[in-house]
Structure 1
Amino acid sequence: MASRALVVGGTSGIGYAMACHIAATSPSTSVVISGRTRPDNMPHANIEFQPIEATSMRQIKSFTDRFKQLTDEKYKLNLLIMTQGIMTMVGRTETPEGIDRKMALHYYGKQLLIRELMPALKEDAKVVIVYDSWSGNMNKLNWNDLDLKTHFSLSTAANHCQVMNDIMIQYYAAQQQAATARRHFIHAWPGGVNTEGLMREMPWVLGATAKLLAPLITVTPAKCAEYLLNGINKVTPASAGDKQGRLFWSCIDNRGRVLENKPVCTEEQMGKIADHTWKLIDAALKA
């Protein structure tokens, strides 16, 4: 059976490094990388490029519709990785669909990709969100303003995306309990990575400082990719066990190690986040 991987955000940085690592270590795997622009260097014959604008829910939906049309039963995805993101000091900046651009990249777009591509996933596929499984604090969630229309700050937006991604991998995993599928949902923290493209919207002073410090406090994208993929490959329902309800979800750190202290969400918490997420996304799709 053919092996296939899709890496969204795979045109640069961590995503590109992960795509290249998969292509190099598994030449029989077909790797699709998606982002705004085709990379100048496509170093492996088993890599192909498909464009996507990952800040737009409507364009993501168009992408997933096309992708599913070209995916038959024998060519489904073994691996879906989403690394799209940006580092910026700009405040709330809404897309034409009314979603903060950072939150669209770091959370909402990722969830839409998972929902729409579920039929294109193999029954034992792994779904990976690369963002921050380490720092989120559920106690700081503003449950009355989850998309931060009126309570926005950079730190609050980051925390909301961190925690809501944590909760949603548990939401998907809970759905698997009553199904025959054994897909595993993973939220990964890359740690400090010397990624040039991520800093492109930072003020030049901060960007210049970051470049000077980067070799001292970060790893290369290639090394990060190696750590994360090693961890992703090791995580299975059997290895996670059913302790604390973790049969089909895991959070991993920047060395690929499972974070054992992640809180397990209640059905009510998962339901509230899922309801909010689909309501906002579906409104954007209809706008």
Structure 2
Amino acid sequence: MSIRALVIGGTNGIGYAMACRIAAETPSSTVIISGRNKPETIPHPNVEFRALDASSMRQIKQYTDRLTSTHRDQKLDFLIMTQGILTMAGRTETAEGIDNKMALHYYGKQLLIRELLPVLKDDAKVIIVLDGRSGTPAKLDWKDLDLKKGYSLPSAAYHCIAMNDAMVQFYAAKQQQSGDTRRHFVHAFPGVVASNIMAGLPWYLRAPTQVLMRMAAVSTDTCAEHMLNGTYKVTEAAEKEGRFWSNIDQKGRMVPNKAVWPEEQLKTIADHTWAVIDGALECTV
């Protein structure tokens, strides 16, 4: 079976490993990887690179406009988003007025989903790799969702995690209302992975972090296996329950006891998200 996959953040780390696994397991597939820089090595002939700065809403919109105009008859089986950054810097706004960390970990991911829905197959799988375990409405500052006033590194992490949780449920609920597709939306926790994301840390934190990595981290290939196999398994199980969203842990297992967000909260998160994204798309630099 031929598969078409788009992996944002697929130029290194977990995303690169997921892209390579899909390409290797199904040689007839086409896998598009996107990030700022082309990898030095692309080991499979069915992998193609397209540049994208996933922290910029306008670049994402231009990218998705091109993709939707050329791929309407070549729809995607997978939309995988692993883009992210590990930094100790405080709030650092992009030219569009969004914190860079939140742009990568949350807002850009939601814009990609919204704009690429027309080129997703009816049974496509959408995978956000961030932290599918820890999100809860209780961790949100509902009066400052984009943290313009109360930013801290922990609060930015909490907000991105929780709002991604909310949006996988939002898309699933919206889909069920229309009743015409079976796309599955997954928020995944990769665990501790031996990738190069630690390069963004200050020099004095890299050595102890590398020790932790050697002790506890799994390889990017192992993580990719867990993420993809887990997605297949939870999708099958969840659909039997009539549910089209899932949260998975570092082994690809369903995260137990994830609460269903109230409709009102989902709407609040979605309205906020589109207001921030559309405001960024309209702004001039």
> Which band: TM-score by shorter chain?
over 0.9
Matched, 1:208 2:207: yes
Separation (CA, whole Å) in 2 of partners of 1:47 and 1:130: 20
Alpha carbons of 1:85 and 1:52: their partners in 2 closer, same or farther (altered >3 Å)?
Answer: same
Q: How far, CA to CA, are the matches of 1:72 and 1:175 in structure 2? A: 21
5+ residue gaps, structure 2, are none
2:80 paired residue number: 81
1:250 alignment partner in structure 2 = 246
Structure 2 partner of 1:8: 8
Distance in 2 separating the partners of 1:123 and 1:137: 29
1:272 pairs, out of 244, 265, 268, with: 268
Which residue does the alignment assign to 1:95?
94
The superposition leaves residues 199-257 of structure 1 with CA deviations (integer Å, 9 ceiling, x where unpaired) of 12211111121112211111011110011111012232x511465xx611000000000
Give the C-alpha shift of residue 3 in structure 1. Answer: 2.2
2:150 equivalent in structure 1: 151
Aligned to 2:39: 39
Contact in 1 for aligned 2:133/2:189 (Cα 8 Å): yes
Residue 177 of structure 2 aligns to a residue whose secondary structure is: coil
Residue of 219, 231, 238 corresponding to 1:240: 238
- Measured on the aligned residues, the alpha-carbon RMSD in Å equals 1.2
2:230 corresponds to: 231
Q: Which residue of 2 aligns with 1:48?
A: 48
Structure 1 residue runs of 4 or more that deviate by more than 3 Å after TM superposition: none
Moved more, 137-146 or 263-272: 137-146
How big is the shift at 1:260? 2.1
Q: Distance in 2 between matches of 1:104 and 1:6?
A: 19
Q: Which sections of structure 1, spanning at least 5 residues, go unmatched?
A: none
The aligned length equals 282
Distance in 2 separating the partners of 1:151 and 1:264: 27
| Aligned mates of 1:241, 1:8 — CA distance in 2 | 26
When normalised by structure 2's length, the TM-score is 0.96
How do residues 140-179 of structure 1 correspond to structure 2 at under 5 angstroms? 140-179=139-178
- Helix, strand or coil at the partner of 1:200: helix
Q: Residue in 2 aligned with 1:222?
A: 221
SS in 1 for 2:200: coil
* Cα distance in structure 1, aligned partners of 2:2 and 2:19: 17
Q: Partners in 1 of 2:119 and 2:239 — Cα distance?
A: 26
Q: What does the per-residue CA deviation read over 1:12-45, in whole Å, with 9 as the maximum and x for residues that have no partner?
A: 0000000001111111110000000110000001
Alpha-carbon distance in structure 1 between the residues aligned to 2:114 and 2:39? 27
Give 2:193's aligned amino acid. Answer: V
Percent identity reads 58
Report the AA paired with residue 128 of structure 2.
Answer: I
